[in-house]
Amino acid sequence: MIAVSTSAPPVAAAPGPAPSRPFGFDGASLNETLDAWRQSTAGRAGGPCAAAASARTLTVCSAPPLDLGGGYAARDLTFTFVDGRLARIAFRTSIDGFAFVTAALEKACGAPDAVVRDSARRMPHVSMRWRNGRSTIELSDPLPDYSHLGVAMTVDADAGRLPAIGG
- What is the count of structural domains for the chain? 1
Q: Is 38 inside any structural domain?
A: yes
Which tens digits make up the pLDDT trace of 27-59?
A: 889 999 988 888 877 555 556 677 665 657 888
Q: How many other CB atoms sit within 10 Å of the CB of residue 13?
A: 12
Whether the per-residue pLDDT at 6 is higher than 70: the answer is no
Total-model pTM: 0.80
DSSP state of 75: E
Q: Is 104 inside any structural domain?
A: yes
Residues 136 and 96: their CA atoms lie apart, in Å, by 23
The answer for residues whose C-beta is within 8 angstroms of residue 160's C-beta and 6 or more apart is none
The confidence band for 156, taking pLDDT boundaries of 50, 70 and 90, is very high
Residues forming beta bridges with residue 158, ordered by sequence position:
none
Q: Is 44 inside any structural domain?
A: yes
Q: Is 17 inside any structural domain?
A: no
Q: Is 46 inside any structural domain?
A: yes
Whether the per-residue pLDDT at 25 is higher than 60: the answer is yes
Name which of 2, 154, 140, 167 is nearest 85 in CA terms: 154
- Residues 104-132 have a mean pLDDT of 89
The confidence band for 9, taking pLDDT boundaries of 50, 70 and 90, is very low
For residue 6, how many C-alpha atoms fall within 13 Å in the half-sphere facing its CB? 0
Q: Which pLDDT value is given to residue 14?
A: 44
Q: Is 106 inside any structural domain?
A: yes
Which tens digits make up the pLDDT trace of 97-106?
A: 999 999 989 9
CB 82 within 8 A of CB 161: yes
Residue type, 39: Q
Name which of 37, 122, 105 is nearest 69 in CA terms: 105
The answer for residues whose C-beta is within 8 angstroms of residue 89's C-beta and 6 or more apart is 24, 25, 28, 30, 77, 78, 79, 80, 152, 153
CB 2 within 8 A of CB 151: yes
Q: What angle do CA 55, 2, 78 make, to 5 degrees?
A: 60
Q: Which domain holds residue 143?
A: 24-161
